[in-house]
Structure 1
Amino acid sequence: MSETVLHFDRVAITLGGREILSPTELRVRRGEFVCVIGPSGCGKTTLLRAAAGFVAPSRGAVMRQGKPITGPSREVAFVFQDYGRALLPWRSVAANVSLALEAAKVPEAERPARIAKVLDTVGLGAHAGKYPAQLSGGMQQRVQIARCLAQRPDVMMMDEPFGALDAMTRETLQDELARLVREEGLTVMFVTHDLEEALYLGDRVIALRSNPTPERPSLAAVIDVPLPQPREQIGTKEHPEFLRLRRELYHYLGHH
C-alpha cells in the first residue's frame, strides 16, 4: 500500500446550522487521483476546502502525512473553477505565475527559470508576456495550473477546473493534466459533475450524497477505476469497464 497523504478522520462540517458533511472517513494515497462527485450542495467543495485548510472541521480532523491540518499550506495548491477571477488582469502570464514564488519568498534571481519551466510544462512558454485578457479560457486555466505547479506542491485540490470550458478544450486539458500528474508525481483531489470526466481521470471516484443523516451518511460510495494508464479519449471511453462504471455512477446519481 502507498503512503497515506490525506486522512479524513471522521470529519464532519456544519455551516449555518446545517450539517453539510456528516462524519466521513477517507484516506488518499500518495500519487493517487481521486475524483469527487455528487449532487449540488452535498459538500464536494467543502471537502476540498477542509483538506486545503480553508475550512475547519466541526468534528474530527483532516491529517496530512499524519499531522492535523490547521490552516493553508504551500504544500497544498488549490485550482479554482473561476480562472478569470483567479488571475490578476494587470499582470502578465509570467507575473501571475510569479505570485506563487513571491509568496514563498523565492529569491528573485531564481524566479525566471522556474517560471519558464512551469510555463513550458503547460504549453504556454511562448505566451509569458501576454495578459489574461489576451488568452482563451483554456489558456487562462493553464496559467492557474502553472502557478500552482510553481509552488511545487505535494497535493493539488481542483474544484471543477474545466467546468466552464467547451468540450474540446476540456478534453485537451484532461489529457494534459493526466500527463502532468504522472510526470510530477502529484496527489490530486478533483471535484466534477461530469461522470465521464471522473472516470477518465480518476484512480478512484468518491460519491457524496446531500442532506446526510446517521442512516444515510455523506460518503455514499467509493469506486475503484481499474482502467489502463495512460488513457485516451476514444479507446478508454469505449472500454467495457468504463461503460459499466458509467452506468453504475449514473444509477447512483439518478437516485440521489
Structure 2
Amino acid sequence: MNIFISFKGGKVLKLIMNTSPFRLEQGYDLGFGPSVYDTMAEVIITFQNPNEDILFSYTNWDIELDPHIDYFIEQSACFFHSGIIHDPDQSIAHKVKEVLLHHYEPKCDPKSIMALQDQLMTQFKENPLNELEEELIRKIGTTVHEMQTIYTLKDRDKKTQSFVNNRLVDTTSTWPLPYDTPVNLKNILWYRANSKEDILRSFDLTDWWFTCVIMNRNTTVENYNYFLDYTEEHREEYDGMVLYITASKKRHFKDTVLPRLIDLLGDKLEVVG
C-alpha cells in the first residue's frame, strides 16, 4: 500500500520511498548552496542516534592517474597564455616566471633575475602558443594545473587540513558510490562531524555535495547504519538536488527517522511510496 502524506502550502522536498536507495528530492525553491546549509545539517542530524557518529568523506585523488591529465595540462597552458587564469595574488604568474627562467636561462646572474623573468614572460605572452616548444608548454601547463587543481587534502589551505585531520577516524580505499571506482582514486578520509556546527563548517571548508555515513561507534565505515549521498541531477524527469538515502535497516528509517523528518520539514515535505 502506498503512503502519501500531503501538507498545505508549497512543497519543495519530496521523499520517494518506493526506490532503493530512498530519494529526498530538494527543489530549487528551497534554495541552493549556502542558503540550504542549515536545513541540510538538520536533515543529517535526524539520522543520528545516541552512540552513533556522523562521518563525512574527503576523497584524495592521484594526479598521476588522472585519465584527463594531458587535456587539463594543455588547456591550462592555453588559458594562462591567453590571460584568462584567475590569479589575483600573482602566485601562478610567479611560478611560471620561474619555469621560463629555468628553461631559457638556468645559469643567469642572480642580480638580473627579476628583470629577466619579466622579459621572458613578456616574450612568452607575445609569441603564438603554437610556435613555442612543446616541452616548455607542458612544463607551464603542468605548473598552472597543479596550482589551480585540488587533488588531495594537502592541496587545501591549512584551516581545512586541520579541520579534517583533527577529526579523522578512518582511511579507506573502497569506493562507496554505486558506480565504477574512478581509476585515479587514491583514498578516502572519513572524519567525524557530530554537531551541527561541525557539519556547517564541513560544508564551508570542503564540499556541500557531500557523502557521509551514520554508524555505531567502534565499528567500520562499511558497517554503516545510513549512507547519505547529496548530489545534483539534471534529467528530463527531474532537475534539482537529491539526497540518496541507503538504510541498512529500512524499518528503522520508517519508524524512527521518517517521523523526525516530517517533524523537521513540516509542510515543505511530501512523502511518497
TM-score (norm 2): 0.25
- TM superposition score normalised by structure 1: 0.26
Question: Relative contact order, CA 8 A, sep 6+: which one is greater?
Answer: 2
- Structure exhibiting the larger radius of gyration computed from Cα positions: 2
Higher helix share: 2
